Amino acid sequence: MIRIQTEPFDVAELAGQLQTRASGRAGALVHFLGMVRDYSPDAGSRSLFLEHYPGMCEREIQALCDHATQRWDILDTLVVHRVGELPLGDPIVFVGVAAAHRGQAFQACEYIIDALKTRAPFWKRETLADGRAFWVEQRAADTEKTAQWD
């Protein structure tokens, strides 16, 4: 399941949904929670605004989850990503994976979040404490990390 939303989400509720959907089959549930962080500690961030390409974004994330399911022995995935204006410290993304064994769940979860950061059509605009705003560029390290999975 893939959801893009403006509303905050409850991590325990999402983990519970994944557990219920994989009930009796999963021996491991792994999840990653991404938070809004200060991209410019010297200037002080105030918030992060995320835009996405509706429809295409969900399809790309689903393709990443489908690829993970083909590559690792996993049972289910759940990805929720927020968009809109988000203050520092807010949850921004949840990636959950259910599998029979923890190793497969960990690897699939790491792959999904790595690939999501570089392949899903999201754009981030950071607003600083003084009101200046700029678009956040993709980091070369993220691109290199994703390329290691290929």
Which pLDDT tens digits describe the chain residue by residue (150 residues)?
999 999 999 999 999 999 999 988 999 999 999 999 887 777 677 889 999 999 999 999 999 999 999 999 999 999 999 999 999 899 999 999 999 999 999 999 999 999 999 999 999 999 888 888 989 888 898 889 889 998
Other C-beta atoms lying within 10 Å of the C-beta of residue 6: 10
**C-alpha triplet 95, 101, 103: angle, nearest 5°:** 65
**Residue range(s) defining the domain that contains residue 10:** 2-147
CA angle, 62 then 135 then 42, to 5°:
120
Phi, psi torsion values for 14, nearest 5 degrees: -65, -45
Q: What are phi and psi of 117, to 5 degrees?
A: -60, -30
Full-model pTM: 0.93
Domain count, the chain: 1
Q: 99 by DSSP, 3-state: which?
A: strand
Q: What is the CATH number of the domain that holds 29?
A: 3.90.1170.40
50 forms beta bridges with: 84, 124
